[in-house]
Chain A
Amino acid sequence: MTTKNMHKPLLQVKDLKQHFALKKEKLFGEKQVVKAVDGVSFDIMPGETLSIVGESGCGKSTTGRSILRLDEPTAGEVLLFGKNLVEMTKKELRLARKDIQIIFQDPYASLNPRRTIRQMLTEAMSIQKVVPPAQQEARMLELMSFVGLRPEYLERYPHEFSGGQRQRIGIARALAVNPKLIICDESVSALDVSIQAQILNLLKKLQRELDLTFLFISHDLSVVRHISDRVMVMYLGKVVEIADKHSLFSQPHHPYTKALFSSIPIIDKEHRKERILLKGDIPSPLNPPSGCSFHTRCPFATDKCKAEIPNLRDITPTHKVACHFAENLV
């Protein structure tokens, strides 16, 4: 980690915002805006894995999509090797995308059912022109062995594979263009645990061998704990806490992070913590609470929390928290 920090960040996200306008429903009403991502900033160092965790509607997936400009961000900067993706032309962006690939939750939905694996990989390589046609065959065999699939599977169609195998194909396709950064958006969430373990091992192996950087988006905290170097917790479009994983899991500062961790069902009785049951539901991102957006469910909220939005601030050099009372609550 220390040597890694000497390098420049591979990806820097600065004050990223993604606001979606809703259709007007009432004649004299205000136009409603969902602030799905509202001022998110973070860096990813080369070779590290940063995870984003949070519950539905927290903006973790939207953050991933905005970085790739799959949804055009409303504001902010996304610097890849210092170059701002948000300001690029379509053509420049297409070239830049060879360095960032994304793997989705449902590999089946993101694979074209009418194309064989060979056709898919050839297409991926041809679009970015990273591999000369003469070497494509060799590269394909290499990719298949990377992800642990037999070479004869190249001629098969997606429906002939199981869920775990499809996710391997999704990974092979992402690797085809030699990316530097891979965004994994709930990539193992739909898999059974035994298959999930296989894919997680594969991702870790590939990271070691190919020097990859991961942005890992997931709601599953034990998976995140296993794969990450650093973890970022989001709530209602904002970062509430970001830290290296040991610091975060052993000593969470934000009351939301604490409640989240205490909610995970644990097998070993000795590790079970006293559960902090949060009141009510996650508020609608259409109408987020004033001040700290967590104050409606926070057991420690004060008047200050209702009025003032807390900044994300350093508690230790590797641990940032957005809570007015972070120090008092440990």
Chain B
Amino acid sequence: MKDEKVLEVKNLQTYFYSSEGIAKAVDGVSFTLHKGETLGIVGESGCGKSMTSLSLLRLVPSPPGKIINGEILLNNTDLLKLSDEELRKIRGNKISMIFQEPMTSLNPVLTVGEQIAETIRLHQGLSRKEAWQKAVEMIRLVGIPAPEKRAKQEPYQLSGGMRQRIMIAMALACTPDVLIADEPTTALDVTIQAQIIDIIRNLQQQLGMSIIFITHDLGVVAEICDKIAVMYAGQVVEEGATDSIFAKPLHPYTNGLIQSLPKLYEDQEELSTIHGTVPSTYDYPIGCRYAERCPFATDLCHDQQPDLMTVVDDKKVRCWMYSEEWQGKHLRGAV
């Protein structure tokens, strides 16, 4: 069952055009999502992970943003080739999305029940009454007590954690194939985050959807994702199974990221850091985008951009150290 491809993204490029130049927010991102699988897209601010997720449903603010290249294949249909009307039938139905800010992502003047029910009426053609019943059911499903009462309330009457549950109820109301969760727990307290992660995991088992989980929090990724794509400067720099990435990160950036986290079960006098800063999205270096900050960089890294290459099994990395060129030059068994 896991082998069935649900979503395949190929060479996605989303650029932003402004007076300052062209910001290459997403610059050639590819990944595959199988049925029932959870893919984590991780990276620091500005790496393009959120813009990747918005691109999938063509929600990038335009202008100034534009998807200039790539394919987004949902069950072999390219979403980038659909008309607006056809795409509308996919949004909230086959692919749905939850966002970082539960406080602002719900409409303040509509009851939460109506906000869920309208999606159900739209995509499933149920009557007002049936849709409301189903909305109440969904609110019950995400673990909110007294769902009949809560459905009639407006967002300001609910806590942050409850609002995020409502967002989840809304996103899952039409049992989508894919749920995109863009930093869904970042704005929440850690005990509430634990509740939300628990709900998402449970509902995935019940409903069988695939999840793309976007976050900067490596701990959250480690707990919830089957596989991970690490993004840096608009590109995927490493991709592989979660366990294998944390056990043996291949890309120097992935390794640097993991090492710079303070450990909860170990005393450290000093944390290891990544030297320097992220390059500007307007002006990437010609070679590897991480070369300037990389302790292993050579002339090759500065001059030529590496491809995302398969190293072993499903593990991919965008780094010259794992190429034949490098192995020949340095006689080094990197893997």
Check if B260 is an interface residue, CB within 8 A of chain A.
yes
Interface string of B217-231 (1 = CB under 8 A from A): 111101100000000
> Taking A263-B190, A282-B189 as contacts, is the C-beta distance between A268 and B271 under 8 angstroms?
no
- Does B261 lie within 8 Å of A221, measured CB to CB? no
What is the bound-complex CA distance between A222 and B222, given in angstroms? 16
What is the bound-complex CA distance between A81 and B220, given in angstroms? 43
Interface string of A176-202 (1 = CB under 8 A from B): 000000000000000011101110110
Interface segment, A93-101, A117-125, A271-279, A309-317? A271-279
Chain B residues with Cβ under 8 A from A259's Cβ? 191
What is the bound-complex CA distance between A193 and B253, given in angstroms? 12
Interface string of A52-77 (1 = CB under 8 A from B): 00011000000000000000000000
Check if B126 is an interface residue, CB within 8 A of chain A.
no
Interface segment, B29-37, B81-89, B193-201? B193-201
Chain B residues with Cβ under 8 A from A14's Cβ? none
Interface segment, B71-79, B262-270, B300-308? B262-270
What is the bound-complex CA distance between A192 and B217, given in angstroms? 10
Contact of A55 among B191, B217, B264 (CB under 8 A): B191
Check if A226 is an interface residue, CB within 8 A of chain B.
yes
Residue in A223, A265, A275, A280 with the greatest tally of chain B CB atoms within 10 Å: A265
What is the bound-complex CA distance between A164 and B197, given in angstroms? 30
- Does A194 lie within 8 Å of B190, measured CB to CB? no
Chain B residues with Cβ under 8 A from A306's Cβ? none
Q: Using a CB-CB cutoff of 8 Å, which residues 142-192 of chain B contact chain A?
A: 145, 159, 161-162, 189-192
What is the bound-complex CA distance between A164 and B273, given in angstroms? 13
- Does A194 lie within 8 Å of B257, measured CB to CB? yes
Q: Which positions in B face A, CB cutoff 8 Å?
A: 44-45, 145, 159, 161-162, 189-195, 197-198, 216-220, 222-223, 243, 246, 256-258, 260-265, 268-274, 277
Q: Which positions in A face B, CB cutoff 8 Å?
A: 55-56, 162, 164, 192-194, 196-198, 200-201, 204, 219, 221-223, 225-227, 249, 259-260, 262-269, 271-272, 275, 277-278, 280-282
Extra 10 A-B pairs, beta carbons < 8 Å, given A267-B258, A281-B192? A192-B216, A201-B273, A221-B264, A226-B268, A263-B190, A263-B193, A265-B222, A275-B194, A277-B198, A278-B194
A–B pairs, 13, beta carbons within 8 Å: A193-B44, A193-B261, A194-B260, A194-B273, A194-B274, A222-B264, A225-B263, A249-B264, A263-B190, A263-B194, A264-B264, A269-B243, A282-B191
